[in-house]
Structure 1
Amino acid sequence: MQINQHARLSVAPMMDWTDRHCRYLHRLLSRQTLLYTEMVTAPALVRGGALHLLDHDPVEHPVALQLGGSDPEELAKAARLGAEAGYDEINLNCGCPSDRVQSGTFGAVLMKDPARVADCVAAMCDTVNVEVTVKCRIGVDDQDPEIVLPDFLARSADAGCERVTIHARKAWLQGLSPKENRDIPPLDYDLVHRMKRQFPNLHISINGGIASLAEARKHLDAGLDGVMIGRAAYHQPADILCAADPEIYGIGQATDPPTVVRRMLPYIDAHLTAGGRLHQIARHMLGLFAGRPGARAWRRALSEGAVRDGAGPELVEAALAQVPATVAA
């Protein structure tokens, strides 16, 4: 399957959430969904030598590296490092509104400089053989999305980008926190659908506020190429990912959370043997039974026990034992 096909459904890059342990878990839930790293800044890789940020397990594929930056030469070098590390895609962040990102002149502020984005995309495309993609907003601050978004997409496409994920909200760079920027600016799904009609050769995924596979299918059925889901995929991963393969890709069978928990145990054991701690993995597993019987007991047992010295796979098994047999069968 080509990566564009995997991109029919993807889990959004989320800072402090979609680390390698989270991605390993998500891959056990769905074999087909495209996964993304947390944003890694190009300066951290190129100037800081923080190559450990590229660590990932081969199981995670297909997996994309999201980069933050605004210097074409530096991004090209970072993209090369990502490609050499084995990532299937390099994605440029043009959507994050945090102050820290703005101070580095990248993220959503790049919506104001589509020419620079095009230069960055072109430099990366010239450097790596894997696909270079962009994740953006519909605009920022007082921009008119009807004007700026088509221009942004056209310039990115001309530079060599063939796939874009659009967060269907504006970002307000002043006055709203990153959390508020995920909720307060109104969603404009219709605009994203119009962009697909205007750019039929551009692979366009939609992101923002989508919380179920049923919603995802509506966007796909309406003509979009892909759907990216963020918080729902993290907080209720089973609801989004367990049935993704048969329902979105028409491949395989649905997975179930108890089986995935048991498949996580060898990974947990290896992490602890290497000097890691249980909570570094268990924190991503708290929502596995969200909305199901036993969810509260499971979450409490993990959240309270995983931080204790010596906590290991046996704690996870004990937490699973508190889930009713009808759920954990």
Structure 2
Amino acid sequence: MIQWTDHHYRTLFRSISSCPTLYTEMIMDDALVHQHRISPFFETIEPWLRCGRSEDPIAVQLGGGGRCGSPSSVNQASIETFCLASELVVGYGRAHNPFPFGELNVNSGCPSGKAVSRGFGADLMRKSSGDHTRALLSQLCRRVGGDVDVTLKCRIGCVERYNRPGPDARVGYEMLRDYVEGAASAGVRKVVLHSRVCVLGGFSTGKNRTVPPLYYDVARRVARDFPGVEVVVNGGVGSLGVAEDILGGRYQGGNGGGEDEIWGWGEGEDLTGCNPGGVMVGRWAYNDVCGMWDADSRFYEKLDRDPTYRRVLEEYFEHCEGLGMRKNNKLDGLPSLIKPLHNIFCGLNGNKQYKQGLDKALKEWGRGGGGFEVGIRELVEGVLAEGYIREDVLEGPISAQRNKAQRGR
């Protein structure tokens, strides 16, 4: 998620859960290529790709590669830029990371107006972009597929306007199956499927995340028809319990009512045993990061880390120490470092007051001109000293506090 799943958030997450694959923010292909052409050293693209040893396994998500209004069915120049960016990602991972990147995820589901206007993201799902998208994935797998797993993120379809598909729409299961088949024939073996249709025009990004109904069963049909492709479900996952239900096939049918006829998902089928291979959790994992505390045991049969809140904070402070604190430094400035900590106490008594205290302290720091006068440890400890979060909560295991909060509801 852009401006959310950065290096600092991912480091915080790893103090809570060790096993789930983490994704970078969506990185634009032309930004990497342009920066590398200006100064052909891997250090120049570090702001987009840096990560620490604890972040493995991690997937790099790339945006771009759009058809961009090309009169030809395939825009070879755009594909070349995307492939060059992918080679830079692989090279950087080998040369500068403590581990190579394991996955390169192609974003063909971003619904933003900027993405659609530039021909990438969900625009790659248009019928008229089919040849281009297949060519993009085929060339990408050929050039970097031996070094990294090339995966695809997409929607279950795209329409021009809500409830008015338009002539270039991709709606109905048959058209989705054709799209996945093209990706699989190119060499893609993993598809992250956001279980909503994308509305290309007239909808904000926020509306595209919430208004189109979810159809989890569509992912199960894809899993049935493409046994050689790992299908990962995305969209509307607001707890680990929901993720378990999706993986167990306990979400039956769509929830679109009469819209089923418009969007062509048809009647329910017997999908017993046709379950997806994974679930991608988005904003919930950011808004309630400690809600992931038992993901390792639930989904990977590993022991949970189950640290105390104090331990999570201490590890994060250690990560931040030595980083620049200049106010205008977007990567390592105090506002960027504080951002992931806003939701660490989600669901607990005092969380609202803690967040307000954090915002107040940050504003006071900003009014003072920023700089090196205060570090993140000093600022956060100053807020906690106000007693918004009880000391026994800070010193107790996350599991105990989460279970207690659940019983109190």
- Relative to the length of structure 1, the TM-score reads 0.91
- Decide which of 97, 108, 111 is 2:125's aligned counterpart: 111
Secondary structure of 2:197's partner? Answer: coil
- Decide which of 220, 228, 232 is 2:280's aligned counterpart: 228
Q: Deviations over 1:170-191 (max 9, x none)?
A: 1111110011100011111111
Give the CA deviation at 1:302.
1.9
Give the CA deviation at 1:301.
2.4
Are 1:76 and 2:83 an aligned pair? Answer: yes
Are 1:266 and 2:318 an aligned pair? Answer: yes
Secondary structure of 1:138's partner? Answer: strand
Q: Deviations over 1:62-100 (max 9, x none)?
A: 111111112222211111111112222111000001111
Give the CA deviation at 1:23.
1.3
Query: Counterpart of 1:279 in structure 2: which amino acid?
Result: P
Q: Deviations over 1:258-313 (max 9, x none)?
A: 32111111112222368732221111111111111221232122222235133311
Partner of 1:166: 193
- Decide which of 146, 154, 168 is 1:136's aligned counterpart: 154
Partner of 1:210: 237
Q: Deviations over 1:132-177 (max 9, x none)?
A: 0000001111232312210110000000000010000011111100
- Decide which of 15, 21, 25 is 2:12's aligned counterpart: 25
Greater length-normalized contact order (CA 8 Å, ≥ 6 residues apart): 1
User: Do the aligned residues in 2 keep the contact of 1:283 with 1:303 (CA within 8 Å)?
Assistant: no
User: Do the aligned residues in 2 keep the contact of 1:244 with 1:254 (CA within 8 Å)?
Assistant: no
Partner of 1:244: 295
Partner of 2:71: none
Partner of 2:393: 327
Are 1:36 and 2:23 an aligned pair? Answer: yes
Partner of 1:92: 106
Cα distance in 1 for residues equivalent to 2:383 and 2:12: 17
Cα distance in 2 for residues equivalent to 1:165 and 1:114: 18
Are 1:200 and 2:227 an aligned pair? Answer: yes
Give the CA deviation at 1:216.
0.6
User: Do the aligned residues in 1 keep the contact of 2:112 with 2:205 (CA within 8 Å)?
Assistant: yes
Cα distance in 2 for residues equivalent to 1:235 and 1:258: 19
Residue range with higher mean Cα deviation, 51-60 or 75-84: 51-60
User: Do the aligned residues in 1 keep the contact of 2:361 with 2:383 (CA within 8 Å)?
Assistant: no
Secondary structure of 2:106's partner? Answer: strand
Cα distance in 1 for residues equivalent to 2:85 and 2:122: 19
Are 1:187 and 2:201 an aligned pair? Answer: no
User: Do the aligned residues in 2 keep the contact of 1:75 with 1:123 (CA within 8 Å)?
Assistant: no
Query: Counterpart of 1:304 in structure 2: which amino acid?
Result: K
Query: Counterpart of 2:125 in structure 1: which amino acid?
Result: M
Are 1:65 and 2:44 an aligned pair? Answer: no
Secondary structure of 1:168's partner? Answer: strand
Cα distance in 1 for residues equivalent to 2:360 and 2:172: 46
Query: Counterpart of 1:247 in structure 2: which amino acid?
Result: R
Partner of 2:136: 120
- Decide which of 11, 14, 34 is 1:47's aligned counterpart: 34
Residue range with higher mean Cα deviation, 163-172 or 47-56: 47-56
Secondary structure of 1:283's partner? Answer: helix
Are 1:253 and 2:317 an aligned pair? Answer: no
**Bigger-Rg structure (1/2):** 2
Query: Counterpart of 2:289 in structure 1: which amino acid?
Result: P
Two-structure CA RMSD over aligned residues (Å): 1.7
Query: Counterpart of 2:8 in structure 1: which amino acid?
Result: H
Secondary structure of 1:286's partner? Answer: helix
Secondary structure of 2:132's partner? Answer: helix
Secondary structure of 2:138's partner? Answer: helix
Residue range with higher mean Cα deviation, 67-76 or 253-262: 253-262
Partner of 2:334: 278
Closer, same or farther: CA 69–22 of 1 in aligned 2, 3 Å: same
Closer, same or farther: CA 272–301 of 1 in aligned 2, 3 Å: farther
**Count of residues in Structure 1 that have an aligned counterpart in Structure 2:** 315
Query: Counterpart of 2:29 in structure 1: which amino acid?
Result: A
User: Do the aligned residues in 2 keep the contact of 1:207 with 1:228 (CA within 8 Å)?
Assistant: yes
User: Do the aligned residues in 2 keep the contact of 1:297 with 1:319 (CA within 8 Å)?
Assistant: no
Cα distance in 1 for residues equivalent to 2:295 and 2:236: 18
Cα distance in 2 for residues equivalent to 1:48 and 1:315: 35
Cα distance in 2 for residues equivalent to 1:89 and 1:306: 36
Structure 2 alignment gaps of length 5 or more: 37-43, 66-77, 94-100, 160-164, 250-274, 396-409
Secondary structure of 2:198's partner? Answer: coil
Partner of 2:259: none
Secondary structure of 1:270's partner? Answer: coil
- Relative to the length of structure 2, the TM-score reads 0.74
